[in-house]
Structure 1
Amino acid sequence: MSNLAQFDSDFYQSNFTIDNQEHSGDDSNAYGNLYGSRKQQAGEQPQPASFVPSEMLMPPGYAGQFFQPASNSDYYSQSPYLDKLGIHFDHVWQKTWTVLNPMKAADGSIMNETDLTGPILFCLALGATLLLAGKVQFGYVYGMSAIGCLVIHALLNLMSSSGVSYGCVASVLGYCLLPLVILSGCAMFFSLQGTFGTVSSLIIIGWCSLSASKIFIAALHMEGQQLLVAYPCALLYGLFALLTIF
């Protein structure tokens, strides 16, 4: 009986060992198969497609400029910003030189433009020089300029067959304010209420009206009518001269 009991215990112990080895081997094989299948699935699974558009992908040598629009790059690189705003300093200088030299012939193609860069600067300069002379006349300068441009615009449209725009009239009359700016600059240093001031004012008024009428005649092809155009211009510039003297 003792031998039989020992045989049964040895038999069960050996079977238990074999079963444990088989189960451990199956678990390791199953774990290896599972791990290998996961690696295989991960390798065979395609990568997800990128949601970034192709045109937004940066090349390897990209150096910045995140905020520059691609569609407007050529627009800003073709010409400077002042040309886009309609500011041409060569035209401003040409018109200014035409006003400063009344005997010089005016170029009608350049003068028939609505360039308000020079007129705004000259109006500001006239108001600033009057202010330095102790006269706050900015409202009168801009008010008389607007009303005078309306009156001259109406007269020129009645006198010429081609017609003229309000911007062109304002541009020409504004550029011709430059001699009055010189007169108001002289008023900062000495009084113009006398014979010298009266003569100087008459010369300046004639200078402004001659330059304005010359430009209008060249731009509108109104040959032989310069005196008729110069008379209303002289009346307008006479008002500015009165502001300067008194």
Structure 2
Amino acid sequence: MSNLGQFDSDFYQSNYTIENQEQSGNEPHAYGNLYESRKQQASEQPPSAFIPSEMFIPSGYSGQFLQPESNPDYYSQSSYIDSFDEEPPLLEELGINFDHIWQKTLTVLNPLKPADGSIMNETDLTGPILFFVALGTTLLLAGKVQFGYVYGMSAIGCLGIHGLLNLMSSSGVSYGCVASVLGYCLLPMVILSSCAIFFSLQDTFGTVLALVVIGWCSLSASKIFISALDMEGQQLLIAYPCALLYGLFALLTVF
């Protein structure tokens, strides 16, 4: 039993004694002082947790709670918002300019008209594609299926003229510009192939007409090239290979 009493005294060992309890009981104002100290600490803390959220809203704010105020100046000054009126037309974005197409067509139809180098030095393939399709269609109406020959000779001829012009000119020229000029100058050949629908060209009149059309095409192409590349005095040198190319198209048309 003595061991059990020693175990209890060791297990419940503490600094708190009965004397301390009697002393605290004899002091009637102990709990009152404790309450006053806690109340003073609570009054010293900032009452931020008890302030309503409406007091944090600035006085100049006119929107509703949890809803931002709309600012029209922000949207009007944004650089990424563009109106539809400021956007370019769709045909201009695709590189199709009907005014330039019409001017180039008139330049080809009138070999004596001076060419505008700023307009002719463009990679516009809208007109050439239309003229190639028109040439193949007129040959088809004349009973000649020659679409493959038309596009094949056009590609090879553009490569040859492109290499020749780069050797002759100091500024150089792009392949698209050469294809555009040669394609526009194919318009007189379309007129010749249209004549082949109604009558045969395998006679003297047809031969003379074919020679005139070849000279017409080569003269227009050489005029445009010397105007776009500033190659004055070299028109005959450029007209000769162009005449050879258009002579192949004339052979397809006549025979």
Q: State if a TM-score over 0.5 links the two structures.
A: yes
Change (3 A) 1:128 1:217: same
Deviation track 1:207-245 (CA, whole Å, cap 9, x = no partner) reads: 000000000000000010000000000000000000001
| Root-mean-square deviation over aligned CA pairs | 2.3
Shift of 1:79: 2.3
Aligned CA distance change for structure 1 residues 72 and 160 (closer, same or farther; 3 Å) = farther
Would you say 1:152 and 2:161 are equivalent positions?
Answer: yes
What is the distance in 2 between the residues matched to 1:149 and 1:178? Answer: 16
1:80 to partner: Cα distance? 1.4
| Deviation (angstroms), 1:49 | 5.4
Q: Distance in 2 between matches of 1:89 and 1:219?
A: 20
The TM-score with structure 1 as length reference comes to 0.71
Shift of 1:78: 2.9
Q: Percent identity?
A: 78
Task: Give structure 2 stretches of 5+ with no counterpart.
Answer: 1-51, 55-63, 72-78
Query: What is the TM-score normalised by the length of structure 2?
Result: 0.69
Q: Distance in 2 between matches of 1:162 and 1:245?
A: 38
Distance 1:72 1:174, change over 3 A: farther
The separation in 2 between residues aligned to 1:94 and 1:148, in whole angstroms, is 24
Alignment: residue pair count: 188
Give the SS at the match of 1:187. Answer: helix
Partner residue in 2 for 1:235: 244
Specify whether residues 78 and 187 from structure 1 end up closer, same or farther in structure 2 by C-alpha distance, changes over 3 A only: same
CA distance in 2: counterparts of 1:240 and 1:149, whole angstroms: 13
* 1:179 maps onto 2:193 in alignment: no
User: What amino acid maps onto 1:104 in structure 2?
Assistant: K
Letter in 1 for 2:216: W
d(CA) in 2 for partners of 1:245, 1:72: 59
CA gap 1:133/1:73 in 2 versus in 1, 3 angstroms: farther
Q: 1:161 to 1:198 in 2, by over 3 A?
A: same
SS of the residue aligned with 2:95? coil
Give CA-to-partner distance per residue, 1:74-131, whole Å, 9 cap, x none: 3674321101111100000000000000000001111000010100000000000001
* One-letter identity of the residue aligned with 2:117: G
Query: Where do residues 18-167 of structure 1 align in structure 2 (5 Å cutoff)?
Result: 73-74=82-83, 77-167=86-176
